[in-house]
Structure 1
Amino acid sequence: MTEQSEGPERSGQRGQPGPPGGSAGPGRPELPELTVAGLQRRLVEFAAARDWGPFHTPKNLAAALSVEASELLEIFQWLTPEQSARVMEDPESAHRVNDEVADVLAYLLQFCDGLGVDVLAALAAKIERNEVRFPRKTSAERPSNPSSLSPCSPDPGSSVP
């Protein structure tokens, strides 16, 4: 079974990483290559070193993923659309967003690793299905006012799960 790391804020690893594959900064160690497989391996090693494996069942990882996604949503809960578009301009808000995105991704990668889901292949296949399901519209077919679309459906008259 695959293990899941707790988020950066719980592991004492807060902060933003340096450039991919390069030095994280003066006096900091070289970062490993940033790949999905490399990150999954690091998360497995992190959790294994703490004996968290028995707790990282698919159900628990899915629940943790949902909780972390909710924590990301909480940052935007009472913001206007304009405020939400500028959230990364504030260093404190940007830090919170980065931390929650990292937590969501960490749990998703561990969930996929534990069940043998190739996350990149799954995403590519989903994009291909959506391209067929929702064909590109010509400019004449697009509404002049995007707010006239239902927030739950990208195409008036179609149902999207």
Structure 2
Amino acid sequence: MTGQRIADLAMKLEAARGQISRLLESVADDQDWSTGDPHWSFRDIAAHMEATDAECLLVRIRQIAYTTPSFEFYNNTGWDFSDRDLRDSLRGWQQSRAQMIEFAQSLSTERLARTGHHKTFGDITVAEYLEIGVKHDLEHLKDLEAMIAAHRAATVAG
């Protein structure tokens, strides 16, 4: 069951990444547009998604599989991503997401049963951390859809 659960989560993670990437790609020529928050442009969202996978999810599932780590809440909101190109971030995100999925799928049942401790979520397995990743993606997908609608309205009005 655990292997199937990882496979199901991998499909959800990749589907969400694909949807978000397509939406961001559609506004890549206006990547600095935001609804007013100077730290939350399309560029920032793409870089945030890449950084979250590469610096948090991938690192933490590796730690859970081989040690008994403790984690604080990860937050990169407000970081300066102004030097990052949206398309480069999407490519980096695709690579880190693929590494994360490949790693999770390579783990034995014993490794998948190991836990780390998260200050907010309590004891957590690799699969449970991947579920957090899915929820994170879906929250950003919903926000991004609203942001793109606002962008379209502003473009038509402007």
Instruction: State TM-score, norm by structure 2.
Output: 0.32
User: Which is strand-richer, 1 or 2?
Assistant: 2
User: Could you say which structure has the larger radius of gyration?
Assistant: 1
